[in-house]
Amino acid sequence: MSSGERLNVHNGLLLSALWDAAFDRGLVTFDDEGKPEFSSSLSEQACAELRWNSPIWLTDEHRRRLAHYRERSRGLS
Q: Mark residue 34 as left, alpha or beta (left: phi above 0; alpha: psi -120 to 50; beta: remaining).
A: left
DSSP at 9: T
Q: DSSP readout, 15-45?
A: --HHHHHHHHTTSEEE-TTS-EEE-TTS-HH
**Residue predicted with more confidence, 5 or 18:** 18
pLDDT at 34: 92
Where exactly are the structural domains of the chain? 3-76
Q: Give tens-digit pLDDT for 23-72.
A: 889 899 899 999 999 999 999 999 888 888 888 889 999 999 999 888 87
pLDDT at 33: 93
> For the chain, give me the number of helices (H) and strands (E)?
4, 2
> Which among 26, 55, 53, 61 is positioned nearest to 42, based on CA atoms?
26
Confidence grade of residue 11 (pLDDT, cut at 50, 70, 90): confident
Distance CA 36, CA 56 (A): 9
pLDDT at 52: 83
Confidence grade of residue 75 (pLDDT, cut at 50, 70, 90): low
